[in-house]
Amino acid sequence: MALGERLPLPAPAHVSIVKEDADPYGSEWVRAGDDLDESKVVLYFHGGAYFFCSPATHRPITWRLSAAARRPVLALDYRQGPVHSLSESLADALDAYQGLLDQGYQPSDILLAGDSAGGHLTLATLLALRDRGLPLPSAAICLSPWADLSDSRRTVNRWVDPMLPASRVDWLARRWTAGLDCRDPLVSPVFGDYTGLPPLMVVTGSTEVLRDEGRRVALRARGAGVKVTYEEWHRMPHVFAILADVMPEARLVFRHIQRFLDAVAGSSAASPSQESSPVPAADSPGRQASLAGPGSDSAGRQASPAGPGSDSAAA
């Protein structure tokens, strides 16, 4: 948290950032403009391996997410290590969600989102809410989720991802899971049962070390009947959305998020097929491969995540 306080990232002049009154630490409300729907909210969990970063370090994501979702974002400053445990981080997330309900927000007006460790916290929060019989949010978005904290050795893109060395992920996973059951879905959401969860969007980069964890979550959720949108962006690193100030592809992600949310909002009128969100082929931009297991039929075709020169993103 201290690192995030020393390195807050700026936001444009039209973006309002206000500290949450009920939080003495550092949670903040982020509003990208004055014409937002104040009856709706995004609860955002920042990444940082449960060890560092803060809402302030993730403003390049949160203000653009506010613009894409057309609603305020509450970026939670949850407890982290080395002093606090995974269970305490999850407790803070659940308390924040309940706090939004207590303020009068309807579950259908709440969106959960997070990146990396925050993506882990997003998935764990969904599973915990469902298991406790609590009302679920309208949808969830995971950017490069860290979903497998087991002792599985990461070999995919081990030496390719410039944002996140695999050796660091392995060490942190061992650090946070000491004394825990690594296959507990609240510890490693990749092993969870996603039955009954709301629509889920998972975004990864084809060269990132956590790519396959995002794929596995998407496949597992879809197998449980969840409407899943999975996007794998060609040659993009871990949580590339945070590079939106300098990378066109990162800005475009927020346009895709906006389309996902528009589809969720319209799903009550016309529910799309669960197979309508194919995986962009990592080695061939512009082509699609379906998010399906061996032997499955290919899904419908969609435009793949585009690179520079595409229509402008929410920025």
Active site members: 116, 208, 238
Q: How far is it, in rounded angstroms, from Cα 165 to Cα 146?
A: 13
Q: Which two tokens stand for residue 160?
A: 């390719």
Pairing of strands 288-289, 28-32: unpaired
- The set of residues, in sequence order, having a beta carbon less than 8 Å from that of 297 and lying 6+ positions away, is 275, 290
CB atoms within 10 A of CB 167: 12
Count of all residues that appear for the chain in the document = 315
- Cis omega before residue 237 (within 30°)? no
Query: Helix/strand/coil (H, E, C) string of 218-265?
Result: HHHHHHCCCCEEEEEECCCCCCHHHHCCCCHHHHHHHHHHHHHHHHHH
The one-letter code for the residue type at 73 is V
In the block, which residue shows the tokens 């993506």? Answer: 119
Q: What is the DSSP letter of 308?
A: T
Provide the angle, in degrees to the nearest 10, between the axes of the packed helices 117-131 and 86-102: 60
* Sign of the alpha-carbon torsion through 25, 92, 60, 314: negative
Question: Can you tell me whether residue 172 is helix, strand or coil?
Answer: helix
Q: How far is it, in rounded angstroms, from Cα 232 to Cα 280?
A: 6
* Cβ pair 69, 78 in contact under 8 A: no
Q: What are phi and psi of 245, to 5 degrees?
A: -65, -25
